Amino acid sequence: MKVISQNTAFGGMQGVYTHPSQACAGEMTFAVFVPPQAITRPCPVVWYLSGLTCTHANVMDKGEYRRMAAELGLIIICPDTSPRGENVADELTNWQMGKGAGFYLDATQTPWAEHYQMYTYVTEELPAFISQHFKVDMNRQAIFGHSMGGHGAMTIALKNPDRFKSCSAFAPIVAPSSADWSVGAFEKYLGTDTAAWRRYDACALVEDGARFPEFLIDQGAADGFLEKGLRPWLFEEAIRDTGIGLTLRMQERYDHSYYFISTFMDDHLRWHAERLA
């Protein structure tokens, strides 16, 4: 592990690191905030998955999570959104595909499959690496994210209900198999057989029998992507009569930006802390 930066904040430590990834076949970058409580005991882990065009740095710089994470004793881990590097396939003029747009899935199609194994990276490789290098309580894990990262958090929780105690999302893409800004990426990453897409679609996973106790979703009512890309009402419909709990809060006048995320970040961290206690 290579240390890129370490800065003291609210009595804890905000670090940025790189490491060689076998899953993604190259160097990967991630950020970790360790609260002061970790000096004396392992602390619960909250994974934050970022959205399209982002890296680990967006939430680290604009998410305003450190004060509350330090108060609650939560370790916050922020992976990158895709593999990076000169040899990594990309579409330079398409922000919905390639670097910055890994969609937290394992690609099966050429040329993407060589590096874009983000589901395996986030669920297997990076957790194992974190366990080796940080004082974490991996029996207490939560996951949340924004937009594409909200999609990733919800699908990962639905597929790993025994691992995560809680899951929440800011403006998630709940049905990427039919959303206008993800269909193209899914076809390129996973092929034309849409049955393969269902493993990375929260609504489809629920329809196919996946279960998780409850979700918290905050959605800006003034979000320009709401009607064609996000559509949280589809998830409401999918979980009806399943026993899955959902708190969906439509936030008037809020958009898709980190001004929205930072406003409700404390709410989400408190929500996770209650379920991780």
- pLDDT tens per residue across span 136-187: 999 999 999 999 999 999 999 999 999 999 999 999 999 999 999 899 999 9
CATH of domain 2-276: 3.40.50.1820
For the chain, the structural domain boundaries read 2-276
The SS3 of residue 257 is coil
Residue 249 corresponds to which amino acid?
R
Size (the chain), residues: 277
Catalytic residue IDs: 147, 223, 256
pLDDT digits (tens, 9 = 90+) for 59-114: 999 999 999 999 999 999 999 999 999 999 999 999 999 999 999 999 999 999 99
The SS3 of residue 152 is helix
pLDDT beyond 90 at 224: yes
pLDDT beyond 90 at 132: yes
pTM equals 0.97
Q: What is the pLDDT of residue 9?
A: 98
The encoded tokens of residue 237 equal 């419909």
22 CB-near residues (< 8 Å, 6+ apart): 125
Q: What is the pLDDT of residue 181?
A: 87
46 and 142 Cβ atoms separated by less than 8 Å: yes
Between CA 151 and CA 202 the distance in angstroms is 7
Between CA 99 and CA 85 the distance in angstroms is 9
pLDDT digits (tens, 9 = 90+) for 244-265: 999 999 999 999 999 999 999 9
Between CA 184 and CA 62 the distance in angstroms is 29
pLDDT beyond 90 at 117: yes
Between CA 3 and CA 15 the distance in angstroms is 7
Q: What is the pLDDT of residue 8?
A: 98
pLDDT digits (tens, 9 = 90+) for 27-53: 999 999 999 999 999 999 999 999 999
Q: What is the pLDDT of residue 270?
A: 98
